[in-house]
């Protein structure tokens, strides 16, 4: 939202980042320069929980022991979904300033951008809300792990689903493959994802 | 199977160590670095810190075999010397010779959880603090490992060992509560220790003159053993003490013996169609 900068505020800077991905696709992404944010004004809390490596290994060991399937996803442009409590002003990006019109105006951000200090945190808050709506509970021992207990079929067989969250990398595992697939579909309706299928790799391992 | 071979190759390249001389162990036997007294130059320091950072990531992910070496060398990150940097790079020499290793998770008739804990008393010659080392295994594969300098100076071997058990107990309690939240219940975790004195101390509420100064927080272990029955302590001979590898720079023979219990060679099982992370 283009607006006038309130007095006593400095706008956050931004720049374009261009990348060529390993599969040849090209990407242009506008990122905020988080280091130009002012503490207490532009941000407060920045900590965002991720799963502990130990939990990841423990869950993988359980998956092998119980012959569970693993399904991996990554959420596309995850950080752009976040909402703020703070009002953040950002200068207009290069190439978007029209000469003679609103040259001195700044943007008041409605959604998060990559590079902002609290980007990971505000994304995690949105993700957490959506997982709760889908019936997943965050466990106390590790804020990066969610569980879902449901029943399936006529015989009401109990099923357990475990979700590992590492920023925007998601790993699904659980006892019932069909049920897991159904919950994964539900998750992908909420968030636009890249479906990596049966997990060959997670967190670069 | 989980591994970070791709990441390892990337960092070997970044630090120009692809063609370094291979080494059998992560650090020379009994290597005992001295802390530097002076300020080190900022270029050396930033290079040192990026080497240690990369090694830490690898160690925390899939390489418990380098845990002691990486933690030991990381203690000099504030003011490293050339000698420290050379020894941090020595770890790369070991990794280059042992590239394709990772952790293999195995299936068993029922889930078996056990731990090994050890301490090396007054091993740090700079401040005489002791070192704690432990690992927790699921069906004989490590899921958790720690090599850490103790926070306070132990006045005896037994005290250092006792503090190490207490550290491990906290981790095992966490693992148990994680498993409970995932709706799994496990029998008491057998924790192997090679020091009878500390086992006795953990199992008996007696307060002796020689142990009464031990910080109260360490007596947490007694609650874990006696009341909550989370842990069952069992004696093991020193040569079978797996956690030894997390407390000191071992010689080749001993190191190689323990290494095979921690990490698995990928090329050996690649053809077997096992689950790869």
Q: What is the domain partition of chain A in residue ranges?
A: 2-198
Q: State percent of chain B over pLDDT 70.
A: 95
CA Rg value for chain B: 19
Q: Which residues contact B20 (CB under 8 A, 6 or more apart)?
A: B89, B92, B93, B96
- 8 Å CB contact of A160 and B141: no
A196 close to B (CB below 8 A): no
- 8 Å CB contact of A67 and B139: no
B106 close to A (CB below 8 A): yes
Alpha-carbon gap: B116 to the closest alpha carbon of chain A (Å) = 16
- The answer to whether residues B168 and B199 touch, using CB atoms and an 8 Å cutoff, is no
Structure tokens at A25: 């696709």
- 8 Å CB contact of B277 and A162: no
| Nearest-by-Cβ selection for A64 from B102, B105, B142 | B105
- 8 Å CB contact of B178 and A141: yes
- The answer to whether residues B254 and B244 touch, using CB atoms and an 8 Å cutoff, is yes
Residues B185-211 as b/e (b if ≥16 CB within 10 A, e otherwise) read ebebbebbbbbeebbebbeeeeeeeeb
- Quickly count: other Cβ atoms within 10 Å of residue B59's Cβ: 24
A157 close to B (CB below 8 A): no
- 8 Å CB contact of A142 and B178: yes
At residue B277, the pLDDT reads: 41
**Tens-place pLDDT, residues B58-105:** 999 999 999 999 999 999 999 999 999 999 999 999 999 999 999 999
| pLDDT, tens digit only, all 205 positions of chain A | 788 888 888 888 888 999 887 777 888 888 888 888 888 788 877 788 889 999 999 999 999 999 999 999 989 988 898 888 788 889 888 888 877 777 788 888 888 888 888 888 999 999 999 999 999 999 999 999 999 998 887 888 889 999 999 988 999 999 899 999 999 999 999 999 988 888 777 777 7
Kindly list the structural domains of chain B, giving each domain's residue range(s) and its CATH number in brackets, ordered by start: 2-101 (no CATH), 113-236 (3.30.420.10)
Please compute the mean of the pLDDT values over residues B92-121 and round it to a whole number: 95
- 8 Å CB contact of A139 and B3: no
A8 close to B (CB below 8 A): no
B144 close to A (CB below 8 A): yes
- The answer to whether residues A40 and A113 touch, using CB atoms and an 8 Å cutoff, is no
Give Cα B34 to chain centroid, integer Å: 21
pLDDT over 60 (residue B272): no
pLDDT over 50 (residue B263): yes
């Amino acid at each position: 939202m283009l607006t006038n900068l309130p007095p006593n505020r400095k706008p956050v800077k931004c720049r374009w980042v261009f990348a060529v991905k390993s599969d040849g696709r090209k990407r242009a992404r506008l990122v905020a320069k988080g280091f130009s944010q002012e503490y207490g004004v532009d941000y407060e809390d920045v900590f965002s929980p991720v799963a502990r490596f130990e939990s990841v290994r423990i869950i993988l060991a359980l998956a092998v022991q119980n012959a569970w399937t693993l399904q991996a996803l990554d959420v596309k442009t995850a950080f752009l979904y976040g909402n703020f409590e703070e009002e953040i002003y950002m200068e207009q990006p290069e190439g978007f300033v029209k000469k003679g019109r609103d040259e001195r105006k700044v943007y008041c951000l409605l959604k998060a951008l990559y590079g902002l200090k609290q980007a990971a945190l505000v994304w995690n808050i949105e993700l957490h809300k959506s997982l709760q709506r889908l019936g997943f509970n965050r466990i106390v021992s590790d804020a990066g792990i969610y569980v879902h207990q449901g029943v399936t079929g006529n015989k009401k067989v109990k099923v357990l689903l475990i979700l590992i969250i590492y920023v925007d990398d998601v790993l699904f595992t659980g006892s019932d493959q069909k049920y897991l697939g159904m919950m994964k579909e539900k998750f992908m309706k909420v968030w636009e994802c890249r479906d990596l299928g049966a997990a060959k790799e997670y967190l670069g391992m | 199977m989980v591994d970070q071979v791709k990441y390892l190759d990337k960092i070997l390249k970044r630090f120009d160590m692809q063609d370094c001389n291979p080494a059998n162990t992560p650090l020379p036997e009994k290597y005992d670095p001295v802390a530097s007294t002076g300020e080190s130059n900022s270029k050396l320091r930033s290079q040192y810190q990026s080497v240690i950072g990369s090694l830490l990531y690898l160690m925390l992910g899939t390489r418990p075999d380098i845990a002691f070496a990486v933690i030991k060398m990381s203690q000099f990150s504030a003011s490293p010397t050339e000698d420290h940097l050379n020894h941090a790079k020595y770890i790369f020499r070991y990794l280059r010779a042992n590239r394709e290793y990772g952790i293999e998770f195995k299936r068993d008739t029922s889930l078996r959880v056990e731990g090994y804990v050890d301490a090396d008393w007054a091993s740090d010659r700079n401040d005489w603090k002791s070192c704690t080392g432990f690992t927790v295994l699921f069906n004989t594969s490590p899921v958790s490992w720690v090599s850490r300098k103790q926070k306070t100076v132990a006045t005896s071997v037994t005290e250092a060992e006792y503090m190490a058990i207490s550290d491990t107990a906290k981790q095992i309690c966490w693992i148990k509560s994680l498993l409970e939240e995932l709706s799994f219940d496990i029998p008491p975790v057998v924790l192997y220790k090679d020091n009878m004195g500390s086992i006795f101390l953990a199992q008996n509420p007696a307060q002796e003159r020689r142990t009464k100064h031990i910080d109260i927080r360490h007596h947490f272990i007694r609650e874990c053993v006696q009341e909550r029955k989370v842990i069952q302590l069992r004696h093991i001979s020193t040569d079978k003490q797996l956690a030894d590898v997390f407390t000191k720079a071992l010689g080749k023979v001993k190191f190689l013996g323990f290494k095979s219990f921690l990490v698995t060679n990928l090329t050996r099982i690649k053809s077997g169609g096992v689950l790869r992370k």
